Amino acid sequence: MFMYKIFSHKYALQLLLSTTIMLFSGASTAAIYKWVDDQGNVHYGQQRPADKSVEKMDVQMHAPRDASSYRKPGQKDEEENTDEAASEEKKPEKPAESAADKKRRLAACAQARKKLSTMQAAGRVRGKDKDGNITYLSDEQKNAQMKSTRDLIAKHCK
């Protein structure tokens, strides 16, 4: 029981001491001083020289906001973004799609999806050449046809 009281007082004292140190360390701030030596050279430092007249510098604690007019490649100004948003709002809306056009578009979409699914499942794809003869497509030709089919899907399947 006696040992418990000694240890608990010891830890309480350590806690009090460390809390006090943390509180006072935040209150002290480092200053930057500027002075001119006998040769006319300007010096800056954290320790104030005893034999010189010094000027205490106003140092910002946080980095300043970027006020530069330089724009990184690909970076847009806030003004440009608002102008683009305003111009998008001014664009006239597309005319409504008729029922017949919608039906044709959805049919083209379904056909393109079926074609892409078939091409992905098949190892070799047959096609017709200029003379109407049936030949097998090379991998490059197959990939090109799959890309054009994906483009059709993107266009018609909205």
Q: Which candidate, 119, 117, 118, 113, places its Cα nearest to that of 153? A: 113
> Tokens 């083209």 appear where?
108
Tokens linked to 62: 């946080």
Is residue 72, in this structure, part of any structural domain at all?
Answer: no
Give me the pLDDT at residue 82, please: 53
Q: Which amino acid is at 141?
A: Q
Give me the pLDDT at residue 5, please: 55
DSSP β-bridge partners for residue 55: 34
pLDDT grade for 150, boundaries at 50, 70 and 90:
very high
20-79 pLDDT tens trace:
776 665 544 567 888 888 888 888 888 888 888 888 877 766 666 666 667 777 776 655
**Which is more confidently placed, 134 or 70?**
134
80-99 pLDDT tens trace:
555 555 555 666 676 788 88
- For the cut 80, the answer to whether the pLDDT of residue 4 exceeds it is no
Is residue 110, in this structure, part of any structural domain at all?
Answer: yes
Q: What is the DSSP letter of 56?
A: E
101-123 pLDDT tens trace:
888 888 989 999 998 888 888 77
Is residue 34, in this structure, part of any structural domain at all?
Answer: no
Contacts with 32 (C-beta within 8 Å, 6 or more apart), sequence order: 44, 45, 46, 56, 57, 59
> Tokens 């200029």 appear where?
130
Stretch 131-153: mean pLDDT: 88
pTM summary value: 0.38
Is residue 23, in this structure, part of any structural domain at all?
Answer: no
Domain range enclosing 107: 99-156
Please count the structural domains in the chain: 1
Give me the pLDDT at residue 16, please: 75
Is residue 31, in this structure, part of any structural domain at all?
Answer: no
